[in-house]
Amino acid sequence: MKKKILLFLSLFTVSFAIISCNVSYVKHPYILNETYNSLNLSDRNIILVFPSDDHIVINNKDDVLDDFGGVNAKPEARIRKFYFPEFFSAFQSFVSGDSLFLIDGFIDGIVAIDTFAKKEIDLKTGTDSSAKPYFIPEKSVVQSIGLENAVFVIVDEINFKRNNFKMEYYWDDKTRKQANLEVDLKIIVWDYKADAPVFYGTLTERTEFHFNMQRKHWDESAHDLAKKTVKTVRCL
């Protein structure tokens, strides 16, 4: 009987060790500060800051022209005029509180992080091989406009690309993936009251479509990306 028990325990120990070795830990290209895991920031002022034109990266500029028009306008200006307001509207509908503002509502002419006095913070996520730079407004600037207790949601960079599909059809000609508009959002959420990061990293959203990409797909992308941001950050 004792031999059977010892054999069972040995087999259990070996099996557990094998299972433990095969457990995969999911790494994300973003980090949520554990302090904010169960916090709710709905009673705080949330300030959204969009990137400057230099940090709006568009790999499919012809699509911007086709769907937004404006032959004499820069593609980045079309994104700022059409995509960002759609993102803000959706973001506003998903956050818990009512105190969400764009930064230009506080200072005329301040519309992007590059128009601030800013500082660089190097941070690393689970998928980064090395720390990446993020930029936030200097605390003295934030204090000067009465937002020293606010939470800033800063879009450090946004990157647009559409996969290459054959003859405007369903599949990518190399990967066989369905045609899609992919947007990568590099973002940092900073709590100025605690002087600490709430969340940082990269979020990706893909909007699939058939045949032709249209204006509605850009709107859908902005809406879904805003929803994903609020859902992933959690505490907003």
pLDDT top residue among 20 and 127: 127
**Has residue 16 been placed in a domain?**
no
Residues with Cβ within 8 Å of residue 153, at least 6 apart in sequence: 46, 47, 48, 49, 187, 189, 229, 233, 236
Does residue 3 fall inside a structural domain?
A: no
Q: Residue 220 sits in a domain of what CATH number? A: 3.30.160
- pTM of the complete model: 0.83
- Percentage of residues in the chain having pLDDT higher than 70: 78
pLDDT at 20 over 60: no
- pLDDT of 141: 87
Mean pLDDT of 41-53: 94
Give the Cα separation of 204 and 182 in Å (integer).
7
pLDDT value at 167 more than 70? no
Q: What confidence tens digit (pLDDT) does each residue in 71-94 have?
A: 789 999 999 999 999 999 999 999
Look at residue 33 and tell me if it is in a domain. yes
Q: Is the pLDDT of residue 16 over 50?
A: no
Q: How confident is the model at residue 175 (pLDDT cuts 50, 70, 90)?
A: low
Mean residue pLDDT of the chain comes to 85
Distance CA 63, CA 9 (A): 63
Q: Which residues pair with 220 in a beta bridge?
A: none
Task: Give me the mean pLDDT over the 203-210 stretch.
Answer: 91
What is the C-alpha to C-alpha distance for residues 57 and 87, in angstroms, rounded to an integer? 16
pLDDT at 179: 83
* Interval 93-110: pLDDT, tens: 999 999 999 987 666 655
What local confidence, expressed as pLDDT, does residue 72 receive? 85
Considering the domain boundaries, does residue 8 fall inside one? no
pLDDT at residue 69, as a whole number: 87
pLDDT of residue 118: 82
**Segment 153-169 mean pLDDT:** 80
- Containing domain of residue 161, as a range? 29-233
Percent of the chain past pLDDT 90, that is, above it, reads 63
Helices (H) and strands (E) in the chain, counts: 6, 9
Domain count, the chain: 1
- Asked, for residue 36, whether it belongs to a domain, the answer is yes
145: in domain: yes
Q: Is residue 189 part of a domain?
A: yes
pLDDT (average), residues 149-178: 76
